Structure formats: structure tokens, C-alpha cells
């Protein structure tokens, strides 16, 4: 069953028939053809399998997790695929990442959502753990969903990542998080995450070493 679903997810990806001057990959989600421009000079400019897993889940579970008119933020949006799919599914999306990734992120978001979405998504800088209250004040920022795909990997900002989840998450916010398990240090983050949030496995893909979680603040899980 795992291998069948993984094969279906991977079939959503396609590549240009001819070599072009700009590298891109194509994806079929939410009844749209999505073209993503990538770069090879940093982690955040490549589409990782966790993003495809999360996109597939959002599309195939759109009744249970109805994003229409919901306020959604993606942290570590990278190339923007997840934010684009959430936008095409009707959400009001804020796609965030580091300042050096925003140009490519903005390009992909605009190219794939303009005149196609109920709500035009916005792209915003978010460096984990920095100026959170200034840029995302608790009093005025309320997100129904936090989306995250492959945000835990070999980087020195796991404390800041947890702080960011904590800051953005209200009592009724749902976190949908696709996690690829690699090294023990990153894997230990799950245990630390559970000190603040209740965690439920909603999909597991052993062939990809990816788990999809739903999380809410402790005591709030429905």
C-alpha cells in the first residue's frame, strides 16, 4: 500500500520535454499544472519529496482539511510548491522563508497562482526565531493551519524552529508537518516538539522515510 501511494505521488511530477535555459520541474496538483523554477545553490531552492507528500495529502483530503478561506502560513516554503497548492485549494496563504530565497519563491508563487486562486498568496520573510512578535504579532496574526515540509534537517536552528512553531500556533491552529527522518539529532526534535504539542501520525511512508503529522497545542487535539 505504501509503495502504491508513493508511486502515485511521484507520478505527479514531470519534467520539460526539451532542455530549457532555466531549470524547472512540473507538478500536477489541485487540477493544475504547476511549474517550479529551482536553483541548485541552496537547500531551499529544490523541491524535496516531503513537499510532494504534503501536497498530495492536502489535495486528497480536501474535505476533512478544507482550506477554503482558511488563513494558512507555510514555514520554510522554499520553492513554494506547498503554498501554491494550498492557494489553489482556496486558502489565504502566507509563504515564508529566508530573505535570500524570497525572489525565487515570489516568482514561483506569482507564476502559478495569478488569476487562478480565490485569494492571491503573499510572500514574506521569516527567519526562524527572529523578530517574531514584530513581524507576526500574536494579537493580530491568527493562522488556521501551519504547513511545514522537510523543515527539520541538518541545520543549527532547531531551537529557533520550535520557538517559531510555538509563536505562530494558537489554541485552535492545526499544524500539518511532513518530516523526513535522517539523523538522530534531527529525529530528537520530534521529542522536543511533543513537549509543547500533541502529535498524531496521519500518514507514514516507510519507502521514503517520511511521516506526515498533525499537531495541535497540548490538550487541544480533536
| 53 inside domain | yes
pLDDT per position as a tens digit, 29-51: 999 999 999 865 565 567 889 99
| 222 inside domain | no
| DSSP-derived pairing of the beta strands 24-29 and 122-125 | unpaired
What mean pLDDT do residues 61-84 have?
97
Cell reading at 18: 526539451
| 48 inside domain | yes
Q: What pLDDT sits at residue 61?
A: 97
Query: Are 108 and 80 within 8 A, CB to CB?
Result: yes
Residue written as cell 492571491?
120
CATH number, residue 102? 3.40.50.150
| Nearest in space to 81 (alpha carbons), one of 137, 138, 6, 148 | 148
Q: Considering its fold, how many domains does the chain have in total?
A: 1
Query: Are 90 and 116 within 8 A, CB to CB?
Result: no
| 74 inside domain | yes
| DSSP-derived pairing of the beta strands 210-217 and 197-205 | antiparallel
What mean pLDDT do residues 6-24 have?
86
φ, ψ for residue 157, nearest 5 deg: -120, 30
Q: How confident is the model at residue 205 (pLDDT cuts 50, 70, 90)?
A: very high
Torsion of CA 29, 30, 31, 35, to 10 degrees: -40
Question: Which range marks the domain in which residue 147 is found?
Answer: 1-217
Torsion of CA 7, 113, 202, 76, to 10 degrees: 100
| 22 inside domain | yes
pLDDT per position as a tens digit, 111-147: 999 999 999 999 999 999 999 999 999 999 999 999 9
User: Which comes out higher in pLDDT, residue 187 or 162?
Assistant: 162
Q: What is the mean pLDDT of the chain?
A: 92
| DSSP tag of 26 | E
| 107 inside domain | yes
| 106 inside domain | yes
Amino acid at each position: 500500500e505504501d509503495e502504491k501511494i508513493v508511486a502515485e505521488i511521484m507520478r505527479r511530477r514531470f519534467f520539460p520535454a526539451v532542455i530549457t535555459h532555466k531549470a524547472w520541474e512540473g507538478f500536477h496538483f489541485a487540477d493544475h499544472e504547476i511549474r517550479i523554477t529551482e536553483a541548485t545553490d541552496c537547500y531551499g531552492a529544490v523541491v524535496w519529496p516531503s513537499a510532494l507528500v504534503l501536497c498530495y495529502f492536502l489535495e486528497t483530503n480536501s474535505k476533512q482539511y478544507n482550506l477554503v478561506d482558511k488563513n494558512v502560513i507555510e514555514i520554510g516554503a522554499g520553492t513554494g510548491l506547498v503554498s501554491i497548492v494550498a492557494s489553489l485549494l482556496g486558502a489565504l496563504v502566507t509563504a515564508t522563508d529566508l530573505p535570500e530565497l524570497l525572489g525565487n519563491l515570489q516568482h514561483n508563487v506569482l507564476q502559478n497562482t495569478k488569476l487562478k486562486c480565490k485569494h492571491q498568496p503573499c510572500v514574506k520573510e521569516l527567519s526562524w526565531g527572529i523578530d517574531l512578535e514584530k513581524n507576526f504579532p500574536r494579537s493580530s496574526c491568527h493562522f488556521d493551519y501551519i504547513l511545514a515540509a522537510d523543515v527539520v534537517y541538518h541545520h543549527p536552528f532547531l531551537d529557533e524552529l520550535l520557538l517559531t512553531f510555538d509563536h505562530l500556533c494558537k489554541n485552535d491552529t492545526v499544524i500539518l508537518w511532513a518530516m523526513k527522518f535522517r539523523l538522530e539529532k534531527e529525529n530528537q526534535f520530534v521529542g522536543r516538539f511533543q513537549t509543547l504539542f500533541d502529535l498524531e501520525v496521519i500518514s507514514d511512508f516507510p519507502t521514503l522515510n517520511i511521516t506526515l503529522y498533525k499537531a495541535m497545542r497540548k490538550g487541544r487535539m480533536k
